[in-house]
Structure 1
């Protein structure tokens, strides 16, 4: 275990959920807009007289077939590359599954990324709030400590400077 690794996750869950939720909603919105634009392209093409929905594509797919051949009285099985023709595939049948699978993969990856990244923000927000609560309760010598990979380190440094100045000002008045 790394020296700066916490044994217990300490994050502001509501902040984290709002952060990840807004992140995912923006990504989902972009994916929906992309999908709608592809649909709009097909619709406009259809209105212009080019009916892409009735268009059929012939696909030649490379396959490996096993064939039995006889050479000098000996039968053996060989693998021969050949093509198989698939007739009557509609363009949208090729494009739509690819777009949907692409959108699903992007959402899954970004969900994982969003949750992982949000820990680097939600944890420091929680820590800063906890330490500020201590300062507001009158505790002296409070210092915000964050891990090296945490975000908001600059803010934590500035808040630590502010807390130190407040402590010094109170000592000067006493």
Structure 2
């Protein structure tokens, strides 16, 4: 097996999930983009770098960069055309340390940034409050889970199971 070269990544997405509107995530198929695939799209399509320059920046050959870029574009096209969610996670990469994450204090509205590889701050550097949130969110819908959100798909299956057991009685 060939050793896969770890790509250098300098920026991480602010959100890690994208999905069609008004369809619960549990009802969708998911296309998974690796961190290095989204970096290839960012460099080439968003920043409009030439492939040679983008490949150098990621520390890989132009051919490898092109393969990563084509694979990423195909996954995005598949998700958009076929109504799939897009999850951005995983991969084999090295953080170059340029990436920053922004946080907001709900107490004093102070916004600050921290390096991606640092641990999550526990309090606001301005007022000391622990009511801090990552700007952009984590994209995983934790607010729904914490508030006992139930997927409509799960409700249907439990409802049909309940109805089936009532009919048998």
Question: Above 0.5 in TM-score?
Answer: no
Task: Tell me which structure has the larger Cα radius of gyration.
Answer: 1
More helix by share: 1
Which of the pair has the greater relative contact order for Cα pairs under 8 Å at 6+ separation?
2
What's the TM-score once normalised by structure 2's chain length?
A: 0.25
